[in-house]
Structure 1
Amino acid sequence: MAPSSRSRLEAAAQLLLLVVMSGVSRAAPPRVPAVIVFGDSTVDTGNNNQIPTTLRADFPPYGRDMPGGPRATGRFGNGRLPPDFISEAFGLPPLVPAYLDPAYGIDDFARGVCFASAGTGIDNATAGVLSVIPLWKEVEYYREYQRRLRAHAGAARARAIVRGALHVVSIGTNDFLENYFLLATGRFAQFTVPEFEDFLVAGARRFLARIHRLGARRVTFAGLAAIGCLPLERTTNVLRGGGCVEEYNEVARSYNAKVEAMVRGLRDEFPRLKLAYISVYDNFANLIANPAKFGLENVEEGCCATGKFEMGYMCGGGAALTCDDADKFLFWDAFHPTEKVNRLMANHTLEVCYQQGLL
């Protein structure tokens, strides 16, 4: 079958298979010494377990489909997250450890580390809503990590690990859905929607420039998904007939266009920075529009509990209602994708990395 007859996600899955299995076009996975992760619950592998917040996923049925059996690691899903699959594709450990997890040490972090915190955002005020780790603190942990890495491996090796690592960034949804549109902070009164988009894009730019100054050379930055189509948003839209909240999707598209332009500008400004924008929106829209192509049967509700509004502790309370086969669902809870979809997103990220010369 010609590549043009496959969807982008299907083609990405084939590419990942070639990488991992040492297929025809590539002799071995590219040399990536580590995967380093920043962001929110889409990539948090367990940091929130170690902080005093109610936004946690360290209990069943989270982690129900983890390799080796059920294990609630703090990942917001039924299994692994995109960075885990990306790490595995490079021949690195199949689980990227959370930096605050006491079960791991610097020897583990030398091959992969996650600083992400569920519920955080680009706007520092977003992290305050549920008392999670702000993005500036994630950067401070990154600096601390580098000091520990230098003491562990020596300055030259530490520098090589950081510069050779793939830095994965996924953040921004909470800034809109948890902060701005919920009136949880004063941002709604302070900014119009376009102004808040600009505020966030400027914050994202400062963050990317800062980690570049700290040594990051290969970075992926994910745009927003179709946030108006999350099960929680569909449920709250019931008074208007249900379905996706198109107002929110339009915001996501507008914001994403600004992020993409910002990424192009940073690439021009920092020639040594290999920075790729990951279009999550288009892939989610494809899954929603063509579920059968991906073996999905339900793209409107989550697998956990009723699937309409539950997340975190509410998901645990409704465990008895949870679906039997999460692979048939786009969403695990009312906010987060299933492991199957996370694998597809990882495949797409790798595809973009190859196309744009990061790997």
Structure 2
Amino acid sequence: MNDWEKASTVVVFVLFGIGVSKIEADNRVYPALFSFGDSILDTGNNNNLVSITKCNYPPYGRDFYGGRPTGRFCNGKNPSDLIAEGLGIKAAVPAYLSSNLGIEELASGVTFASGGSGIDDTTANIQGVLTLSAQLQLFLNYITKLTAAVGQQPAAYIISNSLYLVSAGNNDIAITYYNLKLLQPFPLYVNFLIAGASNFIKSLYELGARRVWMFSTLPLGCLPGGRTIAGGPLRICAPIVNIQAQTFNSQLSSLVNSIRSTLPNYDISFVDVYTPLLNLINNPLPQGFTNVGEGCCGTSIFGASGLCNLLSVCPVPSTYIFWDFAHPTERAYRFVVSSILHSHTTTFLSFSSFNSSISD
């Protein structure tokens, strides 16, 4: 970090009235964290949308601060929160569409992600949630709001030096392809998704983002819903669905490498979420997990979006890898995020609270 960057960081925190010392400000590698995409990163943007794809009701959030549902598709924190925590940015990342966000919250990062969204606009539209292009429009609105509040130079510093997370592709494969586009050869659909991902990545760059982590899909065939649909009577990990996820992930990784080599100063990385989660599923007992195939609060993909059933919540979520039919528990996410941070940064703070939460 050069002298101008250090000075700008301190100015930013002074303007926002945040009680942070110069040393703490200088040591913060990323001034803020932003996230886009789907339910892996959404922290509540769907709450006020006309959609059944939402989770702002119990038992969601039972292990979040105060035991309250916030719109996170989890029992507690999700990767938006956990990566911000692990990098020392802040403890939780609010949804941009939350009401009454103060300048301190806006300046240190928000999420624009929307549960149920995908690269294919069809995926979001059939569920009444935010497309990636709609999320970019919200980001443009955010930039205008931030600039008006703090001035052009501090806002530009935040936009260009912050970390951006993107998770998209899960719902395109698991929902849209299997429900609407199954007659289309899967390789052609993947090509369509990769072209859409390319446009989105380049749009982020044009808006000023320079540090981006593109998430792979989850091992979709091993999700409780994937096992139910395609895993046969024994509900094994569905091999075809996992192969399709791997095909998409491989091409997404190649796309990221290509864009990084062609756009100047674009620090964009492919983040493998698939492998650490699959490793946990295949070898759960050493980490204290005893259930890999069921969701703690329900496994059925039917009913109200296939989400949680308040009457069937397991007594100990920390022993389950999955919270509902498609989303990991906070404790499982912590294992995955720890692997990501160790692989993609030398600045993982290894907070005692972060690590102790994994071992609980």
TM-score per shorter chain, which class?
0.7 to 0.9
Distance in structure 1 (CA, Å) of the matches to 2:130 and 2:305: 19
Match among 328, 338, 348 for residue 339 of structure 2: 348
**Given the alignment of the two structures, is residue 157 of structure 1 paired with residue 154 of structure 2, yes or no?**
yes
**Given the alignment of the two structures, is residue 143 of structure 1 paired with residue 136 of structure 2, yes or no?**
no
Q: Which moved more, 1:83-92 or 1:165-174?
A: 83-92
What's the counterpart of residue 278 of structure 1?
A: 271
User: In structure 2, what residue type is equivalent to 1:269?
Assistant: T
What's the counterpart of residue 215 of structure 1?
A: 208
- 1:209-246 deviation line (CA, Å, top 9, x unaligned): 11011110110000111101110111123645431111
29 and 351 in structure 1: CA distance in 2 versus 1, 3 angstrom threshold: farther
What's the counterpart of residue 12 of structure 2?
A: none
52 and 348 in structure 1: CA distance in 2 versus 1, 3 angstrom threshold: same
Structure 2 residue runs without a partner (length 5+)? 1-25, 349-360
| SS state at 2:99 partner | coil
Structure 1 residue runs without a partner (length 5+)? 1-27
Distance in structure 1 (CA, Å) of the matches to 2:285 and 2:27: 31
Q: Which moved more, 1:229-238 or 1:121-130?
A: 229-238
What's the counterpart of residue 166 of structure 2?
A: 169
- Equivalent residues, number: 323
- 1:68-124 deviation line (CA, Å, top 9, x unaligned): x21100000000011111212233331101011113144411111100000010011
CA RMSD, 1 decimal: 2.0
What's the counterpart of residue 324 of structure 2?
A: 333
User: In structure 1, what residue type is equivalent to 2:216?
Assistant: G
Q: Which moved more, 1:85-94 or 1:138-147?
A: 85-94
**Given the alignment of the two structures, is residue 250 of structure 1 paired with residue 279 of structure 2, yes or no?**
no
TM-score, normalising length from structure 2?
Answer: 0.85
- 1:134-185 deviation line (CA, Å, top 9, x unaligned): 00000111111111111011100000001110001111110011101122xx
What's the counterpart of residue 21 of structure 2?
A: none
Shift in Å at residue 324 of structure 1?
1.2
312 and 327 in structure 1: CA distance in 2 versus 1, 3 angstrom threshold: farther
User: In structure 1, what residue type is equivalent to 2:315?
Assistant: D
Match among 128, 133, 138 for residue 131 of structure 1: 128
Distance in structure 1 (CA, Å) of the matches to 2:301 and 2:121: 26
User: In structure 1, what residue type is equivalent to 2:345?
Assistant: Y
Match among 64, 67, 72 for residue 66 of structure 1: 64
Distance in structure 1 (CA, Å) of the matches to 2:265 and 2:304: 40
Match among 45, 53, 56 for residue 43 of structure 2: 45
Q: Give yes or no for contact 1:61–1:315 (8 Å, CA) kept in 2.
A: no
What's the counterpart of residue 31 of structure 1?
A: 29
Match among 248, 260, 279 for residue 253 of structure 2: 260
Distance in structure 1 (CA, Å) of the matches to 2:303 and 2:330: 16
Match among 299, 302, 321 for residue 295 of structure 2: 302
Q: Which moved more, 1:344-353 or 1:206-215?
A: 344-353
Q: Give yes or no for contact 2:29–2:347 (8 Å, CA) kept in 1.
A: no
252 and 315 in structure 1: CA distance in 2 versus 1, 3 angstrom threshold: closer
Q: Give yes or no for contact 1:55–1:119 (8 Å, CA) kept in 2.
A: yes
Runs of 4+ displaced beyond 6 Å: none
| SS state at 1:255 partner | helix
Shift in Å at residue 258 of structure 1?
0.5
Q: Which moved more, 1:85-94 or 1:348-357?
A: 348-357
What's the counterpart of residue 9 of structure 2?
A: none
Q: Give yes or no for contact 1:115–1:141 (8 Å, CA) kept in 2.
A: yes
What's the counterpart of residue 53 of structure 2?
A: 55
TM-score, normalising length from structure 1?
Answer: 0.85
Shift in Å at residue 31 of structure 1?
2.2
Q: Give yes or no for contact 1:304–1:310 (8 Å, CA) kept in 2.
A: no
What's the counterpart of residue 20 of structure 1?
A: none
